[in-house]
Amino acid sequence: MKDKIVVALGGNALGKTPVEQLELVKRTAKPIVDLIAEGHEVVLAHGNGPQVGMINLAMATSAGSDSGTPDMPFPECGAMSQGYIGYHLQNAIREELLNRDMQIPVATVITQVIVDKDDPAFENPTKPIGAFYSKEEADVLIETKGYDMVEDAGRGWRRVVPSPKPVDVAEKDTVMALVEKNHVVISVGGGGIPVVQEGNKLVGVPAVIDKDFASSKLAEIVDADYLIILTAVEQVAINFGKENEKWLAELNMEECNQYIEEGHFAPGSMLPKVKACMAFAESKPGRRALITSLEKAADGIAGKTGTLIKM
């Protein structure tokens, strides 16, 4: 069966520096093009934690110097990261397609994801971004820029931003038009640039939308059959990292809820993936989601490994 598949790429697909990223995306392109070669329609999403962190840190450091670099707002940093990652990723996929004599256009869509200005996450910023500061520097940033700053595990003070839930994808009609024309589209990079709607205006907000949730929302919007989250582990486990660790081939909603309740999935890493998969699987009968590693993507799709999450 040919499926419409949203593939979400994690940090291990992109690396941390431009040199590393350029090398890694070559490897990343292979399982993606395998899917396309099998006849599936593929829409891509990806994370941007290290990349947006790097851009934000460079901008913040430079703006404080004599260079005259302007203050760069966080949503703009997110937009830059989408362009930078998309540039490498689209070229790697293009090259891999051409190496297999496949003439399929690939493009990145700079994507804004609409969030609710009343999302409770705005009351409780939790996501650390950018540099570490001393207490004195942190106080100045709180005073002059209104940042929320927290002490991060004894390593210094860091800015924290909220992580609201994705509500809609602003460029969804463009993404869908391209998908219908059989283009390979890269969208909602880093979870999308978070924006709130003010009349006809979309206004960027300093926040981080979880890329797993944004990918799930994108998968719903493009009416995908399958959401595949590619990460650093081949399967989801219970008792992860413990002696009685158990890798799971399949999870239904009840099991997911039970294991979430029992605290098996780490909040900053596996929990959003499981929740994103649940949301997609529950959104329409027949939809299913898979969590596996980049290396095992082909086996995962063939049903040989990974953790399948379905109703």
Residues annotated as catalytic are: 11-12, 127, 211, 273
User: In whole angstroms, how large is the CA radius of gyration of the chain?
Assistant: 20
CB of 265 to ligand ADP, least distance (A): 5
- C-alpha span between 230 and 265 (Å, rounded): 16
The window from 141-149, 165-173, 265-273, 279-287 that contacts ligand ADP (CB under 6 A) reads 265-273
237 binds ligand ADP (CB under 6 A): yes
Check: CB of residue 84 under 8 Å from CB of residue 25.
no
10 binds ligand ADP (CB under 6 A): yes
197 binds ligand ADP (CB under 6 A): no
Closest Cα to residue 247, out of 299, 187, 308, 180? 308
232 binds ligand ADP (CB under 6 A): yes
| Residue of 156, 269, 282, 283 that binds ligand ADP (CB under 6 A) | 269
Residues between 155 and 194 that touch ligand ADP (CB under 6 A): none
270 binds ligand ADP (CB under 6 A): yes
CB of 16 to ligand ADP, least distance (A): 11
| Residue of 266, 284, 303, 311 that binds ligand ADP (CB under 6 A) | 266
Check: CB of residue 1 under 8 Å from CB of residue 38.
no
The smaller minimum CB distance to ligand ADP, of residues 196 and 256, is found at 256
Residues forming the site for ligand ADP (CB under 6 A): 10-11, 47, 231-233, 236-237, 240, 264-266, 269-270
